[in-house]
Structure 1
Amino acid sequence: MEEFALTFINEHGYLIYPLVLVWTFFEGETIVLVVSALAATSAPFINLPLLATCATVGTMAGDQLFYYLGRFYGTPFLASRPKLAAKAERGFELLRRGEVPFILSYRFIYGVRNVSPFVVGVGGIPPLRFLLLNFIASALWAASFTLGGFFLGKVLEQWLDQYKWHMITAVVFLIGFIFLRNRSKNSAPPPA
């Protein structure tokens, strides 16, 4: 399987960039980390600056869309969805504390990242101001996750080389344990 994946990446690696661009439009931490980790290990042809650029453009475009949705439809939309409104309230709280720090950092804050551009749009931040801050924040986010994934890939490569047999043994024991546990559950008489 690993050989197939590497062959596919080597032959069709150029597809990684549009994939990252589209995926980061919605949510992209995982794909950016995985692809940049691959660049550190088994796919050195991956261009990290191009990867970071695609991630920047994708996440920025997605956030711009949700900003405008919040700006034009936000208040009635939230009023009709109490669960989302409750989630957005944390974002409004952070936005009130400081617009610029919030816009520059919400991509890194668990629990508010997805609703934040919508919240900023509802909050009335001017479009040009958001565009500029969104560009800066998107570039910082993309660079940090691209570099973080690359260094994580380097560390994992060394660690996996060093502990490969330990991990294989652990996986075999885990599969055996699950198999025996499921087998004993299936052979037990039904409760009366």
Structure 2
Amino acid sequence: MHVQEWLDTIPAVAIYALVAGVIGFESLGIPLPGEIVLVSAALLSSQHGDVNPVVLGICATAGAVIGDSIGYAIGRKGGRPLLAKLGRKFPKHFGPAHIATAERSFEKWGMWAVFIGRFIALLRIFAGPLAGVLHMPYWKFLTANFLGGIVWAGGTTAVIYYLGIVAEDWLKRFSYVGLGAAVLFGVGSMLFMKRRAAKVAAAEPEAVVAGD
């Protein structure tokens, strides 16, 4: 069943809770289709008056901010051992070179890494925990997290809502298009990170030799 068709069968209150919950758990570090659920719910709100787009945007923003904050707390408490554990379970994604690349990104971009991460599939899942592990000051994290959540969740809701009004027929297939785009973007992001990590791993032995 189409995501939007399934959402159409449940009450508006349940839709608000579902959107907040899925986005919250995704931001916590669990790979869930938060963006697809939000897009489908926003599209539904443009077709049915029962789902208020303003309330939907607020719930999505709350889920994003709260989920990321919990992820930050988990990452800060778990620290490096958490990264080491993830590295053992998922070496292709959380190997030492990948973590080094992520750490440099946070050191270089700081708050922007959290803000921009809200718009990138993989970073949306791991930005909170990584920021905690890397001990980013919480006030900086909260500021970037809050602004990113508002712009991403509120902006997505508003854009899809108004597009849904003027292009209802075309947007009935948008969730699948969005899913395909998210998958392609996610694969591209992983390949990019893999290449960067490989370069870092190759450069480290050279640095050791030069140091000797």
TM-score by length of 2: 0.64
Q: Relative to structure 1, is the Cα distance of residues 94 and 109 closer, same or farther in structure 2, using a 3 angstrom cutoff?
A: farther
Residue 37 of structure 1 deviates from its aligned partner by 0.6
Q: From 38, 50, 53, give the equivalent of 2:58.
A: 53
Q: C-alpha distance in 1, partners of 2:100/2:162? A: 35
Q: Contact 2:117/2:124 (CA < 8 Å) preserved in 1?
A: yes
With over 3 angstroms needed to count, the CA separation of the structure-2 counterparts of 1:155 and 1:93, relative to structure 1, is: farther
Residue type at the aligned position of 2:104: E
Corresponding letter in the other structure for 1:73: G
* Alignment partners' CA distance in 2, 1:152 and 1:93: 38
Encode CA deviations 1:8-60: one digit per residue, 9 max, x unaligned.
45xx222211121211112321111000011122x133211111110111111
Correspondence 1:115 to 2:126: yes
Residue matched to 1:92: 103
Q: Does 1:34 align with 2:40?
A: yes
Counterpart residue identity of residue 113, structure 1? R
What's the offset of the Cα at 1:69? Answer: 0.9
Match of 1:22 in 2: 21
Letter of the 2:25 counterpart: F
Partner of 1:144: 155
Q: Which runs of 5+ in 1 are unaligned?
A: 162-192
Structural RMSD (CA)? 2.7
What is the CA-CA distance between 1:91 and the residue it aligns to?
3.0
Q: 2:45, 2:72 → 1: CA distance?
A: 32
TM-score, normalization: structure 1? 0.70
CA distance in 2, matches of 1:7, 1:142: 20
What is the match of residue 176 of structure 2? none
What is the aligned counterpart of 2:80 among 65, 75, 83? 75
Greater mean alpha carbon deviation, residues 26-35 or residues 79-88:
79-88
- Identify the residue that residue 185 of structure 1 maps to in structure 2: none
| Cα distance between partner residues in 2 of 1:156 and 1:34 | 14
Q: Distance in 1 between matches of 2:153 and 2:81?
A: 32
Q: Judging changes above 3 Å, is the alpha-carbon distance between structure 1 residues 80 and 7 closer, same or farther for their aligned structure 2 residues?
A: closer
Residue 127 of structure 1 aligns with which residue? Answer: 138
Letter aligned with residue 133 of structure 1: A
Q: Distance in 2 between matches of 1:59 and 1:49?
A: 15
Could you list the structure 1 runs, at least 4 aligned residues long, displaced by more than 4 angstroms after superposition.
4-7, 87-90
C-alpha contact (below 8 Å) 2:23/2:60 kept by paired residues: yes
In structure 2, the CA distance between the partners of 1:50 and 1:80, relative to structure 1 (3 Å rule), is same
**Kindly, what percent of the aligned residue pairs are identical?**
30
Asked if structure 1 preserves the Cα contact closer than 8 Å seen for 2:115 and 2:145, the reply is yes
Structure with higher Rg: it is 1
